[in-house]
């Protein structure tokens, strides 16, 4: 007698669960820093993981499955912002995970990050929060390393300006 597949054939489900456990904190942190709202971040991560799971047999063969899911997360974040104006997106929560010992107030930093264009914000989050290299960031964003360097430079200049003048 044949049984219907429960999704565990070939170890896909246990392997994917392990991947999710490994990536969950990083994905949630990245999503929150991209959108500024924990509830929306949860939705973005859930959608990114659902899309990843639907292609897991292929994704797990890739050189870097983490880059794949991160790329989906960034695309989902962009898709959300294209559909919703900032006024409709809701209000950002004022608590942020402990990212540093706090040279800058976390709420001020979050607000300054939200002032950046989406591409610059994603670049800063991937480079400095997630610790990705230039090439890894370029792969995650689907752009050249030169674009990553220029976006990073522009973002840091704007962050410095916003944080120094207290316009946050």
pLDDT at 36: 86
Report pTM.
0.65
Query: Domains plus CATH for the chain?
Result: 11-165 (1.20.140.160)
Show the tokens assigned to 28: 């949630």
pLDDT at 62: 87
If one counts every other C-beta atom within 10 angstroms of the C-beta of residue 108, the result is 16
| Residue partners of 97: CB distance under 8 A and separation at least 6 | 29, 32
| Residue partners of 60: CB distance under 8 A and separation at least 6 | 12, 15, 16, 19
Q: Mean pLDDT per segment of 10 residues, for the chain of length 168 residues?
A: 45 87 94 91 95 93 90 88 57 44 69 91 92 92 94 94 73
pLDDT at 124: 94
pLDDT at 143: 93
CA distance 29 to 97: 8
């Amino acid at each position: 007698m044949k049984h219907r597949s429960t999704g565990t054939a070939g170890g896909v489900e246990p392997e994917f669960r392990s991947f999710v456990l490994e990536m969950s904190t990083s994905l949630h942190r990245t999503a929150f820093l991209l959108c500024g709202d924990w509830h929306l971040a949860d939705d973005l991560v859930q959608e990114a993981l659902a899309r990843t799971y639907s292609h897991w047999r292929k994704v797990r063969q890739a050189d870097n499955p983490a880059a794949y899911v991160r790329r989906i997360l960034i695309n989902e974040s962009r898709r959300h912002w294209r559909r919703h104006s900032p006024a409709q997106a809701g209000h950002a929560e004022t608590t942020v995970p402990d990212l540093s010992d706090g040279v800058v107030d976390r709420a001020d930093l979050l607000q300054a990050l939200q002032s950046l264009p989406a591409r610059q914000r994603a670049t800063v989050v991937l480079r400095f929060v997630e610790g990705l290299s230039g090439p890894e960031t370029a792969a995650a964003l689907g752009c050249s390393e030169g674009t990553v360097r220029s976006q990073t430079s522009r973002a840091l200049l704007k962050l410095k300006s916003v944080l120094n003048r207290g316009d946050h």
